[in-house]
Structure 1
Amino acid sequence: MRVLGIFIAIVSLCVHSASSIAQPNFQIDADRIELIGGTRPFKSDLEIERLSVNRYQVFFRLHASAPSIPPEFSLTFRFPKDKVNQLWNSQTWSNRSFFSLPSYDRAAADFSIVSGLTLNDQNQITFTSDDRFDSRYISTFVQEENDTLIFGLGFFEDNPPISQMQEYEVRILVDFRNIPFSEAVYDASKWRLNDLFQQAAIKKQNDDYPVYSTWYPMHRNIPLENITRELDSLTTFGFKSILVDDGWRSLVKMKVDTMYDYDENSLQTMHLFNEKRKEMGLKLYLWYSLPFMGGNPVITKKFAPRYIRYKAPMQTHVLDPRYPEIRNHLVSTYANFYESWPSDGFWFDFLNEFYPNAPTIISDDLGRDFIDTQLAIDQLMDGMNQRLQKISPGIFMGQEFASAGPDQAAAQSFLAGFVGINSAPVVREKMVNNRLLYGRHTPFMEIMGVHPRDKSEEVARKLQAILFGNPHLSFFTTTLPEDTKETIRFWLDYWKENRKILMESEFEPMQVANQYPIIKVANEAKIIYGLYADYNLSLPLVVEQPIDVINAKESSLISFVVNHDGSGYDYEMYNHMGQLVAQDHLKTKRKNTVEVEVPSGGFIRFLPDATAGR
């Protein structure tokens, strides 16, 4: 196909002079792209749009004279291997991928963005795609061939849509800008999700964070009556809303021979809890997953065997949303419950747990109107949203976007909360993945549990693992030592005070292959580093705005690189509870590495130079 030669016009790297190294130029080279598999009976055409310098949008279209099954094919294009030192992918790689470069592929998002970057995390090439199926039938792969990297997009390989089509179009974004890879990845995500980002910005409830969750005390069998009595103490922590764990269902009694109709008398404890939080001005969100289960005898009699999988830990089946009667039942169940027991919203992020990308039960078709599970879930959530919005416009329906990994498919589960400090690296990794893909609209909500025996320093470091996301905490105040409570209060206050910087400024995680041990956020007012491993951090010649370096490591030694003779820096040092422990002037005699002892879980703040801006 001659037209495909145009596509490589944007992927052949040609550096013409030393001055162009910082921002490479690209020229046409028709030899580095290949169509694999053919497209018959479809004919194809291609169009290229230049979005900006070194950033392009490609339209690849198929046309058939009559409706036909979509063909299985691939588009591959080549890129110089010596320009790329690391690879980042928002999904697990396909079986067709093989390469020896350091790679990162634990994000497990619903769509794929691939980035080739340098050792210092600068973008060289980032690409993604989008079509009317939200890229569900498009895979990505990377292969090495001598001095070349082959980037590929595979179409309609696994579980292609059963319906025939006459027209098909895919958009492909290719970004060669020499910018931090984090910026290129988020720009690619915005390219795909811009309309949804705009809707999320309108609906975003910025006053809901930080969130207190009843998850940990409920799982430690602390009665809700006791939790209710402790709600007053939450005001000293500055929580704005409460997420009630699914364990509330064990407190209420279901009427016999009903689908999910609760005895009003058994809701008394929940009513007291609800009234108390209203007095405190806290919003209330319910985690309510039971209706998706098929263990209720009435449900079993009515809907069996319309199940999609067996959930072993709970020893029950999960209802199959590909049936219209199942979707109608779920929508009605939630609507009826909400009308009788209103809250500020439901939490639906658990849908990923019930309907993972895993084998489903193969059964006779008893009237399914969907083959694809995800499309059926989309239809279910649309129906849920329409019905509940009629009852209460603006009701919260969980995060706007599905949370991304790390992928834990081997365990068929995902983190929903953590207690031990050893889980902090994985939690931080998940936090970064979601920030990369969704920016300030991140759906990250790993609930941080606090055990009474946790050391306050470790509590600080756990909080620092979620500091660049929306904090959700769970603990029982009465059992916590005073130093732990002081630590929690300080870091929640720190998050609220610096929220705009932490959540809405430039977000730059570093060292991709090592799972982001350094994170930087910055705007014109402040710079904040989260340091989770040993790293030589460069200090500027002149400090123009405060620089906070948070020591989230277990050790206290931090190395700073000074690139100028005789540099000096005023600083303040705080421990993990936010207590000022030192004020001094750091003086260097020559270009070297300066080591400073910063309390583990604490931070050092470099103050603006008095001459800055003069």
Structure 2
Amino acid sequence: MTPQPNGNQRVKISADSIRAVGDAPDFTADVTVKEIEPGLNDYLIRIDLKERTSPAPIQINWFVPIVDIVGKWHPTIGPDRSLTANWATTTQTYATLGAPVFTFFSSEDKNRHTFALSDAINPISIRTQLEEEDSAANCRIVLFDAPWPQIKDYEITIRIDERPHPYHETISTISQWWSAMPPYRPAPVPESAYEPVYSTWYSFHQKLTDKEVEANCQWSRELGCKTVILDDGWQTEDNNKGYAFCGDWGVATSKFPNFPSHVANVRDLEMNYLVWFSVPFVGPKSKAWQSLKDKTLPKAAVGSAACLDPRFASVRQTIIDCYRTAIEEWNIDGLKLDFVDRFTAENPVTPENETADMVSVPAAADRLFTDIMTQLRALKPDVLIEFRQAYIGPAMRKYGNIFRAHDCPNDATSNLTRTIDLRLLSGNTAVHSDMVMWNPRESVEHAAMQLWATLFSVPQISVKQDSIPGEHEQMLREFLTFWIQRKNLLMKGRLNPVQPLDLYPSVHVENDEETLSAIYQQQHIAQLPKNSGRKLSIVNATHKPQVHLDCSKIKTARELRIYNCLGEEVNRAKISNGDSIQTIAVPSAGYAIADA
């Protein structure tokens, strides 16, 4: 008999759960519990520091019995979702890094215990440590473990959800909870955020020319891309990578002799134009270095570059002015803002010529981006802003309308996992894949796997027309056609990614008109959703020429048309009602369709 989730024990947080870390000054804590519905509780915690002071670390602990729990999930977890023992690492969250939410799930993908914090701006440390003595997870939150301004009191709500709903639905409700809070109201998402993208990064790196970029924009537009992102390299004559020249953000005229004219040529193709900026970096070879070098965080950025400190008003204004100029003078449609997670919590610097007007780096970053977006939206209401995983929390949804998976070149498994992880928490914010690339000598089926991994996100393509074989181009054209035809289903349908512990061996999506199931792992048996005559698509994103389907919910027999990855019909098959498990021959990287 399967034990009840968490036995008869309900998690409780009380004033006794809250204590100082080390020799913190005296304080008092009060906990008020509000039951939203059975199994869903908000714990409002009020901390009184007795006097106005910079708070010392305070921790909150509670225990979750490990009963019918097989794994955990949080937004920056990576591939290991196991229940790691008491040497588990601490997860840091703040405005520009991750999001304060953890989920424990069962073997049947049900939520067993999810907790989330109302404070997604300030630095908070979270640890879920398995205690060997009693097989329980010690959930620990540490507040004030970073530089803070002086305060007298502080409030935070911990929402704990133990309702046995599908894990992905539980995570989605946390996203909705944050979205309803005025401090985290998400940015509007124009439809253009859902259009396929051509990116110059993997295809060009820093070796850019206006004519070659325009040629590949023309090509990708014909394939179905409606946005281009000009990545690193446009701002420097140096092509050796690194960030020593960042900070001035002037166009390299040897590459783009007339940048506004170049942008106009691309926009004439009816493509949106976004430009990359590494937000915090200033390099020693930039002209800006002398005026900004003393207003940088103690922690180095990359190589010789430093990371600007947003606690200084002059730093914030410099960044804002830069982006205003780009939007106004170049007539671009948006920005790709990179390395935002380098705004880490640090002790303040003390230059002689200016005093910082803020103490907390994450709070200063929040103020910076609030001011950026207020001014940019006044210039262009539908401005597109891309942020990269892992700066993808509720605070970042206020500013960005595109969240992209973290870099994973030529790595289909990571692109799938990262885009699905993003989808779980991002609401209507457009989730994009990392830029797709592959070796031109790869088989066309294996190359197609890189694209199928992006199916449930907006695909970003980063290969050159003259670098891939004609067969690869045909496959790419077919994939984009397939994706565009189903865009509304894929981006706005009801998503069900199964088995998070195993990195989503199949993913399903449905709306009132159609369903789609994509299978990513060989030998996995994918349960098709109840179809009721709706259009059905099945994608075989594995290296085997067959898929295994649980058809127990299919009430009527369906005829399938089978296609290879080039879009050529190669066979027909039937799904029989009444037979639970069926194996259907579908080419590797191919797909099957049953019409409504």
Shorter-chain TM range is: 0.7 to 0.9
- Cα 1:364–1:492 change in 2 (3 A) is same
Find the aligned partners of 1:537 and 1:289 in 2 and give their Cα distance: 41
Asked if 1:604 is matched to 2:586, the reply is no
Residue by residue, what CA displacement relative to the aligned partner does 1:193-217 show, whole Å, maximum 9, x if unpaired?
Answer: 3357995463434465111112233
Matches within 5 A, 1:1-150: 34-37=16-19, 41-70=26-55, 72-91=57-76, 99=84, 110-131=98-119, 134=121, 136-144=123-131, 146-150=133-137
Q: Which runs of 5+ in 2 are unaligned?
A: 240-244, 394-403
In structure 2, the residue corresponding to 1:457 is in which secondary structure? helix
Partner of 1:189: 175
In structure 2, the residue corresponding to 1:398 is in which secondary structure? strand
Q: Contact 1:487/1:578 (CA < 8 Å) preserved in 2?
A: yes
Partner of 1:527: 515
Matches within 5 A, 1:154-165: 154-156=141-143, 158-161=145-148, 163-165=149-151
Residue by residue, what CA displacement relative to the aligned partner does 1:250-297 show, whole Å, maximum 9, x if unpaired?
Answer: 4699xx9x9555688974353443232222111111113388323245
Partner of 1:6: none
Find the aligned partners of 1:60 and 1:508 in 2 and give their Cα distance: 34
Matches within 5 A, 1:108-257: 110-131=98-119, 134=121, 136-144=123-131, 146-156=133-143, 158-161=145-148, 163-195=149-181, 199-200=185-186, 202-206=188-192, 209-219=195-205, 221=207, 223-250=209-236
Find the aligned partners of 1:436 and 1:104 in 2 and give their Cα distance: 23
In structure 2, the residue corresponding to 1:554 is in which secondary structure? coil
Find the aligned partners of 2:176 and 2:466 in 1 and give their Cα distance: 44
Partner of 1:301: 290
Find the aligned partners of 1:196 and 1:399 in 2 and give their Cα distance: 21
In structure 2, the residue corresponding to 1:226 is in which secondary structure? helix
- Cα 1:528–1:357 change in 2 (3 A) is farther
Partner AA of 1:229 in structure 2: A
Q: Alpha-carbon deviation of 1:394?
A: 3.9
Partner of 1:318: 307
- Cα 1:566–1:468 change in 2 (3 A) is closer
Q: Which of 276, 279, 296 does residue 268 from structure 2 map onto?
A: 279
Moved more, 384-393 or 489-498: 384-393
Q: Contact 1:508/1:520 (CA < 8 Å) preserved in 2?
A: yes
Matches within 5 A, 1:561-580: 561=550, 563=552, 568-580=557-569
Q: Contact 2:405/2:432 (CA < 8 Å) preserved in 1?
A: no
Partner of 1:459: 447
Matches within 5 A, 1:453-532: 453-532=441-520
Find the aligned partners of 2:12 and 2:328 in 1 and give their Cα distance: 62
Q: Alpha-carbon deviation of 1:240?
A: 1.4
Find the aligned partners of 1:449 and 1:296 in 2 and give their Cα distance: 31
Find the aligned partners of 1:220 and 1:110 in 2 and give their Cα distance: 29
In structure 2, the residue corresponding to 1:370 is in which secondary structure? coil
Find the aligned partners of 1:219 and 1:128 in 2 and give their Cα distance: 39
Identity %: 19
Find the aligned partners of 2:131 and 2:467 in 1 and give their Cα distance: 56
Partner AA of 1:185 in structure 2: I
Partner AA of 1:35 in structure 2: S
Q: Contact 1:461/1:601 (CA < 8 Å) preserved in 2?
A: yes
Q: Which of 337, 350, 358 does residue 339 from structure 2 map onto?
A: 350
Find the aligned partners of 2:472 and 2:499 in 1 and give their Cα distance: 31
Q: Contact 2:532/2:554 (CA < 8 Å) preserved in 1?
A: no
Moved more, 452-461 or 469-478: 452-461
- Cα 1:540–1:173 change in 2 (3 A) is closer
Structure with higher RCO (Cα < 8 A, 6+ apart)? 2
- Cα 1:274–1:99 change in 2 (3 A) is closer
Find the aligned partners of 1:371 and 1:531 in 2 and give their Cα distance: 49
Find the aligned partners of 2:405 and 2:487 in 1 and give their Cα distance: 24
Asked if 1:424 is matched to 2:412, the reply is yes
Q: Contact 2:48/2:152 (CA < 8 Å) preserved in 1?
A: yes
- Cα 1:252–1:148 change in 2 (3 A) is closer
In structure 2, the residue corresponding to 1:527 is in which secondary structure? strand
- Cα 1:546–1:264 change in 2 (3 A) is closer
Moved more, 233-242 or 557-566: 557-566
Normalised TM-score (structure 1) = 0.80
- Cα 1:227–1:452 change in 2 (3 A) is farther
Q: Contact 1:92/1:105 (CA < 8 Å) preserved in 2?
A: no
Q: Alpha-carbon deviation of 1:157?
A: 5.6
Q: Contact 2:279/2:338 (CA < 8 Å) preserved in 1?
A: no
Which of the two has higher C-alpha Rg?
A: 1
- Cα 1:540–1:155 change in 2 (3 A) is closer
Name whichever structure is richer in helix by fraction: 1
Find the aligned partners of 1:222 and 1:259 in 2 and give their Cα distance: 18
Find the aligned partners of 2:591 and 2:183 in 1 and give their Cα distance: 33
Find the aligned partners of 1:525 and 1:435 in 2 and give their Cα distance: 21
Find the aligned partners of 1:572 and 1:242 in 2 and give their Cα distance: 34
Find the aligned partners of 2:12 and 2:374 in 1 and give their Cα distance: 49
Residue by residue, what CA displacement relative to the aligned partner does 1:117-157 show, whole Å, maximum 9, x if unpaired?
Answer: 111211111111113x6352352423335555244232326
In structure 2, the residue corresponding to 1:472 is in which secondary structure? strand
Q: Which runs of 4+ in 1 moved over 6 A?
A: 20-33, 103-108, 263-266, 564-567
Find the aligned partners of 2:10 and 2:418 in 1 and give their Cα distance: 39
In structure 1, the residue corresponding to 2:589 is in which secondary structure? coil
Q: Alpha-carbon deviation of 1:486?
A: 1.9
| CA RMSD, 1 decimal | 4.0
Q: Which of 539, 545, 549 does residue 556 from structure 1 map onto?
A: 545
Q: Contact 1:33/1:78 (CA < 8 Å) preserved in 2?
A: no
Q: Alpha-carbon deviation of 1:591?
A: 5.5
In structure 1, the residue corresponding to 2:572 is in which secondary structure? strand
Q: Which runs of 5+ in 1 are unaligned?
A: 1-17, 406-413, 609-614
Q: Alpha-carbon deviation of 1:71?
A: 5.1
Partner AA of 2:319 in structure 1: L
Residue by residue, what CA displacement relative to the aligned partner does 1:153-181 show, whole Å, maximum 9, x if unpaired?
Answer: 323262152x3322211111111221110
- Cα 1:576–1:388 change in 2 (3 A) is same
Residue by residue, what CA displacement relative to the aligned partner does 1:345-388 show, whole Å, maximum 9, x if unpaired?
Answer: 22113323xx1658x69855543333332222222223323343
